[in-house]
Amino acid sequence: MPQMRKCAKCGEPTLEPVERKMEIYNSVYSYKCTNCQHEVELVPPGSLGVQTTIGLLFAVAIWFLFMDDHGSWPGPVQIVVLAGVVSVLPLMTIFQLRKHRQYPLVERDAKPKHLDVEETANITKKPVMWIESLGFLGGVLAPILLIIVVLVVAALIGYINFTFFDDKLFG
């Protein structure tokens, strides 16, 4: 939830949230300083945590799908491609987290200002807002927990299919 922040331009604790925009995978808070009219947009830490986890999982998938040559060391081209994939997302995350450090919260215990999200056809609005409320570590763990839940459900369906239906339920 958005709270008052300290403005990096004038140094006063007058940076307040004015708008919340829903993007595809996260929401973005727009802040405006009431003292110097400085504006900044911040992505919530929970979304940055999800972005970090998805990026690392993507890098591992790229490695195993395209670059793993069954035990031999990858060539220089593969190493450059993987280094590019692995370095782009953490750099984007670091730049966004740096903004949170530049514009620190004024009072952590203060009641957050409620901002409505514009009505969009985005079906991920509620899950995104829930993940954003978890913070950075919760955002890192949320995709991993979702993957675990999907795998457990698939294992249960497979167990029921093979145990009680002799593999005739799905084919």
For the stretch 35-59, pLDDT in tens is 899 999 999 999 899 888 988 888 8
Name, in order, each residue with C-beta under 8 angstroms of 138's C-beta and a sequence gap of 6 or more.
46, 49, 131
Alpha-carbon span 65 to 20, nearest angstrom: 38
Rg of the Cα atoms in the chain:
21
27: left (phi over 0), alpha (psi -120 to 50) or beta: beta
For the stretch 98-134, pLDDT in tens is 999 999 988 765 555 666 655 556 677 778 888 888 8
CA angle, 141 then 128 then 152, to 5°: 45
Confidence of residue 70 (pLDDT cuts 50, 70, 90): low
Higher pLDDT, 7 or 116: 7
This prediction's pTM: 0.76
